[in-house]
């Protein structure tokens, strides 16, 4: 159930992922509920469902960096409020 209390989320799928449609549908649901999210369509030969496998270079590295940057923003906010993260 996606509502306003749903946590910030990261959606990663490969360009030719068999679950690409479901990932895009989930992003639409998050949009409707105004839940913050990062939608990262990964390409390249090493991209797989849920995360690029090679995170040392190329698209995998960019995907990991974008994910850390996005989530760090919310972890820092929670720490400032003394919430468990």
| Residue-wise pLDDT tens digits, 31-69 | 999 999 999 888 766 566 666 667 777 777 888 899 999
Residue 85's pLDDT band, with cuts at 50, 70 and 90, is low
> Which stretch of 8-17, 30-39, 73-82 has the lowest confidence by average pLDDT?
73-82
Whether the Cβ atoms of residue 18 and residue 49 lie closer than 8 Å to each other: yes
Confidence (pTM): 0.76
């Amino acid at each position: 159930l996606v509502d306003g209390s749903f946590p910030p989320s990261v959606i990663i799928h490969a360009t030719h992922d068999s679950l690409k449609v479901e990932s895009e549908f989930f992003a639409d649901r998050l949009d409707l509920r105004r839940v913050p999210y990062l939608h990262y369509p990964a390409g390249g030969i090493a991209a797989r469902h849920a995360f690029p496998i090679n995170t040392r270079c190329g698209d995998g590295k960019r995907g990991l960096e974008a994910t850390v940057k996005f989530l760090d923003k919310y972890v820092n906010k929670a720490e400032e409020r003394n919430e468990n993260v």
